[in-house]
Amino acid sequence: MSDPVLDHLLGDHDGILDRLIEYARIPSVSTDAAYADGMAAARKLLAGRLEAAGFNNVKQIAKGGHPAVYGEWLGLSGAPTYLVYGHYDVQPPDPLDKWHSPPFDPQIREGRLYGRGVSDDKGPASIALEVLFAYLSVEGRLPVNIKLLLEGEEEVGSATLPAILEHNAKLLQADAVISADGARWRADLPSVNVGSRGNMAFELALRTASKDLHSGRFGGAVPNAAHVLAGLVADLHSPDGRVSVDGFYDGVGDPDETIGIDIASLPFDEEAFFAAIGSAPFGEKGFSTLERLWLRPTLEINGMWSGYTGEGGKTVTPAEAFAKITTRLVPGQDPAHVAQALQRHFGHACPAGASIEFAPRDDGNAAYLVPPDLPLLLAVEDAIEDALGARPVRVRVGSTLPLSDMIKRALGIDTVTLSFSTADEDFHSPNEFFRLSAIEEGMTAWTSLLRRLGRVTE
C-alpha cells in the first residue's frame, strides 16, 4: 500500500544519506571540552534543519550542561501531542588507531555506514527527523502534534536532563514520548522493548587499621581488611543465588504477574549466548537465563580491591578494602528503599574491629515498564509490522534506560522506543556502523507510526 510520504522519502534516498553523513561529520563529543565547537555545530545544524522544515519555537534549553535542541509543530488543535526524543552527542572516538576509516569522515562499505555516532544516535534520530520533514514537505502538516527534544548529554549520563525536564515541564508536556534512541534486541527478530531494569550504584570502603601492617609482625592478631570485605561480599547472596539483604526484594512482584511478555515462546539460543562470552549459565535458582536478565533484580560487585596489587609480592596485612556495587532493579522496587536496605545491612554486617563507609553514588533509576495496553505501544507494534512484515515480539532489556524513568518522574508520561539501531553496531567502540537497510525499514515504520497515531484522532 503506497504512502505518498514514504514514496517521497524513498525517492530522496541519496539526499537523506548525504544529510546523515553531513551530520555525522560533526565531532559532537560531549565528554571532552575540546569538542565544544563540534557540539555547537551539531546544535546549529539541527536548529537550522528544524526551522527550514517548518518547526516552530526552535531553541536551546539548558540547565548548566550541554543544551538540548527543542522544536515543535503544534498545528493540530485538540490532537494528541508526542514528544520525540533523540540525542546529538556521541561517544569519544578513541582509540583512533583502531578505526579502519576516520571516525568523523563517514564511509560506506558493504551496506554499512561507518563513523562515530552513526548508530548512536545520529542515524536513528535522522530517520525520525526525515520522516517528520517529509510529512511537512509533502502534506504541509504532521498527522499529530510533535515536540522534539534532542539531548546533548546522553553519553555523559544525562546529568542535567532531569533538571531540563522539570524546568520545562509545561513546554515539554505531551501524551507520550517516542524515543528514537536505543537498540533492537537482535537483527534477525522484530521486537519491541517493553521494559528495562533500573539501577543504583554504591561505593563501599572499609578500614581495619590506621595503615597497612607487616604480615609477619602483625598477621594473625589483627583483622585483615581483604578478609572482611570478602566475607561481606560472600554474604550478599545465599547459596540459591538470591540476594541476602533484608528488604531488598520488597515490592518485587511474582514473575507471572509482572512479566507482560511471553519469555518461554521467544527464540533464544542459550548455548550460543554463553559460547559468545566464554561463560556458563549461573544465577538465581528457579529462573531461566532470560528471566534472570529481564525479570530479576541483581546486586553485583563491579570492582573490588584491597592491599598490594602490583608485580611480585608484598607481605602486607591490608588495612583498607574497597568495592563498587550496583544493583539492577525491577518494577516494584524503589531505589531509595533498596539503598536504605543496603545501608541497614552493612551497618549490621560490619564485624568488630572494622569500620565501614557505604553510600549510594546518586539517586539511581527505577525500573521502567511500558503499560502493556498503552496506545502508543500498540501503534509502534503495528508500525514495526508494517515495516518488517512480521509482528514484533515484546522483549525487555536487562540494562537501564534512565530516560524512560526520568521522563516518567518529571512529566508523568510513558516512553516507547522506536529505533533501528541494532545492539551489535559497536556504538561505544571503534568502527561504529549503521546498517543502510535500517534507513528504509526505519522510515517505513516511522511514516506508518505517525499515520496510525493521526488516524486514531481523525
Closest to a second copy by CB, 28 vs 208, is 208
- Binding of residue 259 to a second copy (CB under 8 A): no
In this chain, which stretch among 221-229, 342-350, 368-376, 388-396 interacts with a second copy, using CB under 8 A? 221-229
Q: Does 222 bind a second copy (CB under 8 A)?
A: yes
Residue type (1 letter), 369: L
Minimum distance from CB of 260 to a second copy (Å)?
Answer: 18
Using an 8 Å Cβ cutoff, are 173 and 411 in contact? Answer: yes
Closest CA to 127 of 166, 179, 163, 170: 179
Bridging pattern class, strands 368-369 and 112-114: unpaired
Closer residue to a second copy, CB minimum distance, 78 or 95: 95
- Per the structure block, which three cell numbers stand in for 6? 514514504
With CB under 8 A as the contact rule, the residue among 179, 191, 208, 447 that binds a second copy is: 208
What's the number of CA atoms in the CB half-sphere (13 Å) around residue 377?
A: 18
Integer Cα distance of 284 and 243 in angstroms: 9
For residue 389, state whether it binds a second copy (rule: CB under 8 A): no
Q: How far is the CB of 203 from a second copy (least distance, A)?
A: 8
Q: Which range touches a second copy (CB under 8 A), out of 2-10, 27-35, 137-145, 223-231?
A: 223-231
Neighbours of 97 (CB within 10 A): 6
CA distance 336 to 184: 30
Q: How far apart are the C-alpha atoms of 432 and 423, rounded to whole Å?
A: 11
| 411-440 residues near a second copy, rule: CB under 8 A | none
| Residue 221 touching a second copy (CB under 8 A) | yes
Question: Does 371 engage in binding with a second copy (CB under 8 A)?
Answer: no
Q: How many CB atoms lie under 10 A from the CB of residue 303?
A: 9
Closest approach, Cβ 106 to a second copy, in A, equals 26
Segment near a second copy (CB under 8 A); pick from 63-71, 187-195, 292-300, 435-443: 292-300
33 near a second copy, rule: CB under 8 A:
no
Least Cβ distance, residue 389 to a second copy (angstroms)? 28
Nearer to a second copy, 361 or 455 (CB): 361
> Closest approach of Cβ 351 to a second copy, in Å?
9
Task: Give the phi and the psi of residue 436 in degrees, each rounded to 5.
Answer: -65, -30
Bridge pairing between strands 355-360 and 112-114: unpaired
Under rule CB under 8 A, residue 224 binds a second copy: yes
452 conformational bin, left if phi > 0, alpha if psi -120 to 50, beta if neither: alpha
CB distance 133 to 53 below 8 Å: yes
Residue type present at position 380: V
Burial class (CB in 10 A: 0-12, 13-18, 19+), 283: middle
In Å, what is the CA distance from 421 to each residue of 113, 304, 375? 12, 34, 23
115 close to 27: Cβ distance less than 8 angstroms: no
Smallest separation, CB 305 to a second copy (Å): 4
- Between CA 147 and CA 176 the distance in angstroms is 10
- Residue 356 CB, nearest approach to a second copy (Å): 15
State which of positions 298-327 bind a second copy (CB under 8 A): 298, 300-309, 312-319, 322-324, 326
Considering only residues 225-244, where is the footprint of a second copy by CB under 8 A?
Answer: 226-227, 229-237
Q: How far is the CB of 428 from a second copy (least distance, A)?
A: 10
Transcribe 376-443 into DSSP letters.
Answer: HHHHHHHHHHHHHSSPPEEEEESS--HHHHHHHHHH---EEE---EETTS-TTSTT-EEETHHHHHHH
Measured from the CB atom, the residue of 92 and 102 that comes closer to a second copy is 92
Site map 393..412 versus a second copy, x via CB under 8 A: ----xxxx------------
Give the cell for residue 399: 540494562
CA distance 181 to 355: 43
How far apart are CB 273 and a second copy at their closest, in Å?
9
d(CA 261, CA 372): 9
Binding a second copy (rule: CB under 8 A), the pick from 43, 116, 197, 394 is 197
What's the alpha-carbon Rg for the chain, to the nearest Å? 25
Looking up cell 509543530 gives 73
The 151-180 contact track toward a second copy, x by CB under 8 A, reads: ------------------------------
- Choice from 64, 78, 267, 278 touching a second copy (CB under 8 A): 278
191 binds a second copy (CB under 8 A): no
Selected binder of a second copy within 1, 78, 280, 348 (CB under 8 A): 280
Q: Smallest distance, Å, CB 191 to a second copy?
A: 15
Total chain residues near a second copy (CB under 8 A)? 76
Grid coordinates 518522574 are at which residue? 409
Are residues 131 and 5 in contact, defined by beta-carbon separation less than 8 angstroms? yes
Is 345 a binding residue for a second copy by CB under 8 A? The answer is: no
Instruction: Determine if 353 is a binding residue for a second copy (CB under 8 A).
Output: yes
Region of 86-94, 107-115, 143-151, 214-222 interacting with a second copy (CB under 8 A)? 214-222
CB of 319 vs a second copy, minimal distance in Å: 8
